Amino acid sequence: MKAAVKRLVSMIPVLIGVMLLTFIMLRVVPGDPVSIMLGEHYSQAKIDRLTRAMNLDKPMWEQFVSYMLGAFRGDLGVSYMMNKPVTGLIAEAFPQTFRLALMAAAIAWAVGLIAGITAAVKQNKLPDHLFMGFSLAGVSVPIFMSALFLQYFFSYRLKILPLTSDGSAASLILPAIALGWNSAGSVARMTRSSLIETLQADYIDTARAKGLLRPAVIFGHALKNALLPVVTMMALQISSLMSGAVITESVFSVPGIGRLATQAIQNRDMPLLQGTILFTTILVILGNLAADLLYSVIDPRIGDE
Amino acid sequence: MMMTKKIMALLLCGSLTAGILAGCGGSGSEGQTAEAKPETEAAAEEAPAADEGAEEAAAEETAAEEPAAEESAAEAAPADGEDKILRLGWSKDIQTMDVHRTTDNYAVPLNIFDRLLEVKLNEDGSTELVNSIAKDYSISDDGLVYSFELRDDVKFCDGTPLTSADVEATFTRMFTLEDSVQTDFTTCIKGAQAILDGNADSLEGFRVIDDTHFEIELEEPFAGFLSVLATPTCCIFSKANLEEAGDDFGMVPAKTIGSGPYMVTDWKTNDSLTLVRNPYYWGEPASASEVHYKVYPEPSTFNMAFQNGEVDILDCDFLDSSIVTSTYETDAYKDKLIRVNRLGTYMISINAGIEPMSDVRVRKAIQMAVNRQGILDSIFGGHGELVDGIYPAGSIGFTAENQGWLQYDPEGAKALLKEAGYENGFDLEISANASGSSNIASIIQVVQQNLTDIGINAHIETYDESSWLAKRKSGEMPLFAGVWTLDYNDPSNIIDTFFGSAESTKGRSLNYADTDVMARVTSAKSIVDETERLKEYADLEKKIVEEDASWVPLFALQHTFVISDRIEHFTPHWAGYGDFNAYGVTMK
């Protein structure tokens, strides 16, 4: 418990660091939001007016300090382009991304574990080759491609699932598969190799020697130990799910966090981009924390000092 | 300790499972409703939706207004329950519906607001200025005072009438709003600059006479002003709504009230936006009872949605040109393609301030050397119209008399070069902007080849955007390709920008030398008689491009749309924008 609290406290400097980095990077890259907003025709007077209105005339450190103080109060500023508070936009978009990521994770973990276990048990036999081929495809095919393929096949040809998201959960199935396939591949591969290694351990021989049935050995003794690295990876995959969501959300028109981020980049919408990056950072840190906690739960030998 | 861990593990697993189940559970029930909703059922729903919208709008007003609102709403709702929903797509969401705060989100404003005047797109592709909520207008002899009479039957979608005070509030806000981006073409109104400078808070040149009459006085004569009034910039808002909504105006549907054929009822960020008929609209009700916009960030998804029958009008700008050619420019779609002129002229600027292009014969040789039809055919599939002057095809000011004189003639060009003493050619830089459009980049490639063919040693030099702009503005760029899209439908917009003064022609790296002509360009703005004015603009065009060979006029392109089987007729925006008024769509 103490460790968890300690980890949470140590998040603060990380977050400040991330904020500072994004803040600086966004101001170093060329292209300024004012000229993008004004389009082709603008006078210096108009640029100045708008710069003032957007508080961009203040010194950089002052902008940063006021931004940071606001952030700790939960105020991430107002999006330049959408004219809405960033926190509100994130709150509106997050449930979409969350549902998508959750479904993707469920698919990834379920499929990945089943495929990995089957492949390990049937090592070098047909199911092994089959599942590993599937997972290799998952790891190697870019999400963009698999998303288009799924759309083409299931929505355009077979017309059994919606082409784009309309808020219903049915319309989330294809994006969740597209997003989860990649993770499923990694989970399957990791589960397989970890389980194969564990199955060679001495205590497995002992268990077999006791006369236990094969399923009991695999599920009762081997799997628990084999899953340790897999669990870590699954929690860490939250970050890859979030980044994959950027592409998936675009292809399937899901109005989530990833879309906010791409839009913010296209429009040089600094408050919105800072906000989405900060938010994603928090999610990833929490994911890591969950991984650590789960780890010590599964393996009691890893206590919390 | 062991106990705590077990409990934590249970909690963690529990919450994960619950979350997953929640996701899947939703999938079952919601999925069914989504799938079980055939088109007819969706259509049946539209009547109550329209009703609700009107009631909501009316609820903003006094209770006494309510019965009237319900009555009109009933009229607006289609009695036959037919599916009249127009479904459109966007590549990205709009940022606001407030035109004072955007220079490109015009789709919704075009639908929910009215303008004093409109530009009408004729079947033959020509355009003309027509009255809208302004019933009549007159211009004083000195060209300074515009007197308008409003229609007396114009109402906002909340039932309140639109009066002169609303027009005044709209124009005043254009200048008082701190982050207004729409001041360029309206600062000609007397007193506008004073507001921008912070020296006034009311618009001196705007005089309300009564509810339906008002005058606008300009600082100096500007005949293009009427065309400016017909642009999305000059959408008319409701004064009461502006005051009540504050910063919510343009952001919150219920707080964005207009008098246009539609009103906005729902807007989900990055997802969708819904328009329904304005029950109080003064004109004929729109054909489509509702307009649903959906955001499709990925072009191939957008294309598949059209193919799946989920979208009614496909804007080919969003697609790769190879897909447009292979899928839509086929027999199957030949009746479904709608093309409209984009009111923009592509041109190659020739710098008359640099040797040897100061010699008019050299400039004429360059004009003759460029294979314009070849460029149009090879790069743009022939979808455009050659322009031999300044004003783009379809715009006000474009005249047939000034067309047809410029022919591709490399031999003639060589002869002219020889006559000018450059039979062995000369070195010439074509300046390219690294961040410029791919259209321009492709054009430059062909132009380089064309110039090489007549013996000019042309080479392409690429600059990053800011250096490119700086060089152009310094007046030292020898030759480059560009495009000017009209901001408002008037010849003054383009000719002033390039040939209005020594300063502007230098800033465009043209260095046009004839000061008399430039003085005529400036004074043409003050000609009140329309026929006389357009004649002068045509004469100036002939002088500048045909006689003085200031630039190589190229072409104006077309914008292609594909319509679905549900659409009977579609009139795009007159300027060829992707944004259009759904009032111009007739559903089957």
Alpha-carbon distance B109 to B98, whole Å? 7
At B67, which amino acid appears? P
Nearest CA-CA distance, residue B302 and chain A, Å: 9
Query: pLDDT (tens digit, 9 = 90+) per residue, B200-228?
Result: 989 999 999 999 999 999 998 898 999 99
Question: To the nearest whole angstrom, how far is the Cα of B504 from the nearest Cα of chain A?
Answer: 14
Lowest mean pLDDT among A171-185, B80-94, B149-163: B80-94
Cβ contact A106–B20 (<8 Å): yes
CB pairs under 8 A between A and B: 146
- Would you call A92 and B269 a contact, using CB atoms and an 8 Å cutoff? yes
Asked if B297 lies within 8 A of A250 by C-beta distance, the reply is yes
Contact B2 A300 (CB under 8 A): yes
Nearest by CB to residue A171, choosing from B20, B34, B104, is B34
Residue B277: DSSP 8-state? E
Mean pLDDT of chain B: 85
* Pairing mode, strands B427-433 and B457-463: parallel
Q: What is the rounded average pLDDT of the residues B109-113?
A: 96
Largest CA distance in chain B: 101
Q: Which of A158, A168, A177, A288 is the mutation pick for testing B, counting most B CBs within 10 A?
A: A168
- Residue B302's pLDDT band (boundaries 50, 70, 90)? very high
- Least confident window among B1-5, B286-290, B398-402: B1-5
pLDDT reported for residue B66: 40
The residue among B270, B296, B473 with the most chain A CBs within 10 A of its CB, best to mutate, is B270
Q: What percent of chain B has pLDDT over 90?
A: 66
Residues of A in contact with B308 (CB under 8 A): 155-156, 159, 163
Token pair for residue A112?
A: 């990945």
Are A294 and B104 within 8 A, CB to CB?
A: no
Query: What is the chain A residue with the closest CA to B485?
Result: A40
Tell which B residues from 92 to 111 touch A, by Cβ distance under 8 Å: 92-93, 95-96, 101, 103-104
Nearest CA in chain B to A169: B27
* A84/B271 Cβ within 8 A: no
B10 inside 8 A of chain A by CB: no
pLDDT at B41 over 60: no
Whether the CB-CB separation of A222 and A192 falls below 8 Å is answered with no
Q: Which residues of A touch B30 (CB under 8 A)?
A: 167-170
Q: Tell me what the mean pLDDT of segment B42-50 comes to.
A: 37
The span from the CA of B57 to the CA of B64, in Å, is 13
Residues of B in contact with A171 (CB under 8 A): 31, 34
Nearest to A99 among B4, B6, B23 (CB): B23
Q: Pick the residue of B94, B269, B274 with the most A CBs within 10 A to test the interface with A by mutation.
A: B269
- Residues B5, A300: C-beta atoms closer than 8 Å: yes
pLDDT digits (tens, 9 = 90+) for A14-59: 888 888 888 888 777 666 667 666 655 556 666 777 777 677 777 8
Q: CA B159, B164, B167: angle at the middle one, nearest 5? A: 85
Q: Rounded CA gap, B278 and B285, in Å?
A: 8
Q: Which of A53, A250, A298 sits opposite B179 (nearest CB)?
A: A53
Position B510 scores a pLDDT of 93
Comparing alpha-carbon positions, the chain B residue that sits nearest to A160 is B35
Chain A residues whose beta carbon lies within 8 Å of the beta carbon of residue B484: none
pLDDT of residue A46: 66
Euclidean distance between CA atoms B134 and B151, whole angstroms: 6
pLDDT at position B87 over 60: yes
pLDDT score of A281:
87
Question: Which residues of chain A carry a pLDDT beneath 70?
Answer: 1, 29-33, 35-46, 53, 302-305
User: Higher confidence at residue B371 or residue B49?
Assistant: B371
What H or E segment, with its residue span, contains residue A98? helix A86-121
**Residue that the structure tokens 């207009």 belong to:** B258
- On whether the CB atoms of residues B582 and B286 are closer than 8 A, the answer is yes
CA distance B413 to B261: 54
Q: Is A166's CB within 8 Å of B4's CB?
A: no
Q: What HEC string does B167-189 produce?
A: HHHHHHHHHHCCCCCCCCCCCCE
Q: Mind telling me how many Å the CA of A249 is from chain B's nearest CA?
A: 9
The residue written with tokens 């343009």 in the block is: B250
* Gyration radius of chain B over CA positions: 28
Using the Cβ of B194 and the Cβ atoms of chain A, whether some distance falls under 8 Å is answered with no
Q: Give the pLDDT band of residue B444 (cuts 50, 70, 90).
A: very high
Is the minimum CB–CB distance between B271 and chain A shorter than 8 Å?
A: yes
Q: How many CA atoms lie within 13 A of A281 on its CB side?
A: 18
For residue A24, the SS3 value is helix
pLDDT category at B337 given cuts 50, 70, 90 is: very high
Taking CB atoms within 8 Å and a gap of at least 24, the contacts of A243-246 are A244/A104, A244/A143, A244/A179, A244/A182, A245/A97, A245/A100, A245/A101, A245/A179
Give the confidence band of B82 by pLDDT, cuts at 50, 70, 90. Answer: low
Instruction: Work out the burial of residue A286: count CB atoms within 10 Å of its CB; fewer than 13 is exposed, 13-18 middle, 19 or more buried.
Output: middle
**Which of B98, B59, B89 is closest to B182 using CA atoms?**
B98
| Pairwise CB contact (< 8 Å): A263 & B270 | yes
pLDDT at A38: 62
Q: Is the pLDDT of residue B504 over 80?
A: yes
Looking at chain B, which residue has its C-alpha nearest residue A55? B179
3-class DSSP state of A207: helix
- CA of A187 vs chain B CAs: smallest distance (Å): 17
Give the tokens for residue B194. 């004073």
Task: Tell me the average pLDDT across B253-263.
Answer: 96
Residue B294 to residues A157, A247, B270, B510, Cα–Cα distance (Å): 22, 18, 8, 44
List Cβ<8 Å contacts ≥24 apart for B101-105: B101/A83, B101/B177, B101/B179, B101/B180, B101/B181, B101/B250, B102/B181, B103/A37, B103/A38, B103/A39, B103/B181, B103/B182, B104/A39, B105/B579
Per-position DSSP letters for B368-429, written without gaps between them: HHS-HHHHHHHHHTT-EEE-SSSSPTTSTT--GGGSS-----HHHHHHHHHHTT-TT--EEE
Looking at chain B, which residue has its C-alpha nearest residue A36?
B103
Of B33, B269, B305, the CB nearest to A163: B305
Q: Which residues of B touch A48 (CB under 8 A)?
A: none
User: For position B68, what pLDDT does the model report?
Assistant: 41
Query: Which pLDDT score is estimated for B170?
Result: 96
DSSP, res B122: P
Among B4, B33, B105, B271, the strongest candidate for a mutation testing the A interface, having the largest count of A CBs within 10 A, is B271
Of B8, B31, B251, the CB nearest to A170: B31
Find the CB nearest B301 among A37, A39, A163: A163
Give me the residues of B, 282-321, that contact A with CB < 8 A. Answer: 294-298, 300-301, 304-305, 307-308, 310
Q: A259, B178: Cβ pair inside 8 Å? A: no
Tell which residue, A242, A274, A271, has the closest CA to residue A258: A242
Q: Which residue has the higher pLDDT, A207 or B412?
A: B412
Instruction: Name which of A92, A68, A143, A104 is nearest A260 in CA terms.
Output: A92
B35's CB contacts (< 8 A; 6+ apart) are A170
* pTM for this model (two decimals): 0.79
Instruction: Give the residue from chain B lying closest to A247, CA to CA.
Output: B298
**Predicted pLDDT of residue B51:** 39
Judging by DSSP bridges, how do beta strands B134-139 and B145-150 pair with one another?
Answer: antiparallel
- Looking at the DSSP assignment, which residues form a beta bridge with residue B339? B560
pLDDT band at B67, cuts 50/70/90?
A: very low
Taking the CA of residue B16 as centre, how many other CA atoms within 13 Å lie in the half-sphere pointing to its CB? 17
Pick from B112, B96, B91, B97: which is nearest to B311 by CA? B91
More confident residue, B444 or A16: B444
**Which of B34-38, B492-496, B541-545 comes out lowest in average pLDDT?**
B34-38
- Contact status, residue B406 vs residue B413, Cβ threshold 8 Å: no
pLDDT above 60 (res B419): yes
* CA of B30 vs chain A CAs: smallest distance (Å): 5
Minimum-distance CB partner of A164 among B20, B196, B305: B305
Phi, psi of B564 (to 5 degrees): -85, 175
For residue A3, what are its two tokens? 């460790």
Q: Which pLDDT value is given to residue A40? A: 53
Name the most confidently modeled range: A24-38, A180-194, B132-146, B314-328: B132-146
CB-based contacts of B218, cutoff 8 Å, min separation 6:
B143, B144, B145, B146, B188, B189, B190, B205, B225
Res. B445: pLDDT tops 70: yes
Q: Which amino acid is at B136?
A: D
Max Cα–Cα distance, chain A, nearest Å? 87
**Residue-level pLDDT at A30:** 62
CB contact under 8 A, B300 and A148: yes
Which candidate from A152, A165, A170 shows the least CB-CB separation from B27?
Answer: A170
